[in-house]
């Protein structure tokens, strides 16, 4: 593992109790930083933070709840070490929703996917940007998906929500380009995590068939790119989309 320089920095990671969020936390801790994990599952996020050690803190929050996100920001700031700041936000919380044709897609499920995957990113950015832009440098990294670029059949809500995350990233990156905040997103192809439990075997097989490397990505591979995007080395990229697709994405 290459050592990235996140020494003395602090990141808030949504969806941090499991999967990609947890792997990103591990990588940033290994790079010298500390983290606050946000997750709506209180027991899981507290267990995750405990397993990561003294440099990890847990905050239970539903990113789709505007009031809850605002409160979680204040709780996070209050729990920071004396004189410490928050330097990076990684928006990783997400759900897949059902695999269904659009004409049959449940309206409530559509709304839930958009609420978590897109509105949750908006709400977290909205609350953290005023704090981050006061820093000499800060980073926002949003987890989108190759589905947001290409569209996966029978996953219209997920694909639309991730396309929205890409567009939000580009817009916010331009808004903050004259500050020290860099805003980027990553677009993984399928990564084998617990989110697979929300998908049908047929959908999983479809995703694998689209990857030229013939395998799924690993959480550690995604975490490596995200961690670099959180460092000062990522200085001239903002509003950008970074593919992690095993060759699937070609534009």
- State the catalytic residues: 158
Q: Helix, strand, or coil here: 58?
A: strand
Distance set, CA 200 to CA 38, 186, 213 (Å): 27, 24, 22
Report the side by side order of strands in the sheet with 34-39.
Answer: 56-60, 34-39, 10-14, 88-91, 138-143, 181-188, 240-244
| Three-class SS state of 144 | coil
According to DSSP, the residues that pair with 244 across neighbouring strands are 188
| Residue where the block lists tokens 């805003």 | 183
CB atoms within 10 A of CB 161: 28
- Can you say how many angstroms the Cα of residue 121 is from the centroid of all Cα atoms in its chain? 8
Q: Summarize the chain as % helix, strand, coil (round to 5).
A: 45, 15, 35
Place of tokens 């070609």: 250
Among 140, 111, 127, which residue's Cα sits nearest to residue 66?
127
18, 95 in Cβ contact below 8 A? Answer: no
């Amino acid at each position: 593992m290459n050592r990235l320089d996140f020494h003395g920095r602090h990141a808030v990671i949504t969806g941090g109790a499991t999967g990609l969020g947890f792997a990103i936390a591990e990588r940033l801790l290994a790079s010298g930083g500390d983290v606050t994990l946000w997750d709506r599952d209180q027991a899981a996020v507290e267990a995750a933070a405990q397993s990561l050690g003294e440099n990890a803190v847990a905050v239970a929050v539903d990113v789709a709840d505007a009031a809850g996100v605002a409160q979680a920001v204040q709780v996070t700031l209050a729990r920071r070490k004396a004189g410490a700041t928050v330097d990076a936000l990684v928006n990783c919380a997400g759900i897949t929703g059902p695999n269904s044709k659009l004409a049959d897609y449940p309206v409530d499920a559509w709304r839930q996917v958009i609420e978590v995957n897109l509105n949750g990113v908006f709400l977290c950015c909205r609350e953290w940007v005023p704090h981050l832009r006061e820093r000499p440098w800060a980073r926002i990294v949003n987890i989108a998906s190759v589905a947001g670029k290409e569209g996966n059949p029978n996953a219209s809500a997920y694909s639309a929500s991730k396309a929205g995350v890409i567009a939000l990233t580009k817009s916010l990156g331009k808004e903050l380009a004259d500050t020290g905040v860099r805003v980027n997103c990553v677009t993984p192809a399928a990564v084998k995590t617990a989110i697979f439990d929300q998908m049908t075997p047929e959908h999983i097989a479809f995703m694998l068939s689209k990857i030229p490397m013939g395998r799924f990505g690993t959480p550690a591979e995604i975490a490596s790119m995200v961690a670099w995007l959180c460092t000062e080395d990522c200085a001239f990229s903002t509003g950008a989309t970074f593919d992690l697709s095993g060759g699937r994405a070609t534009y």
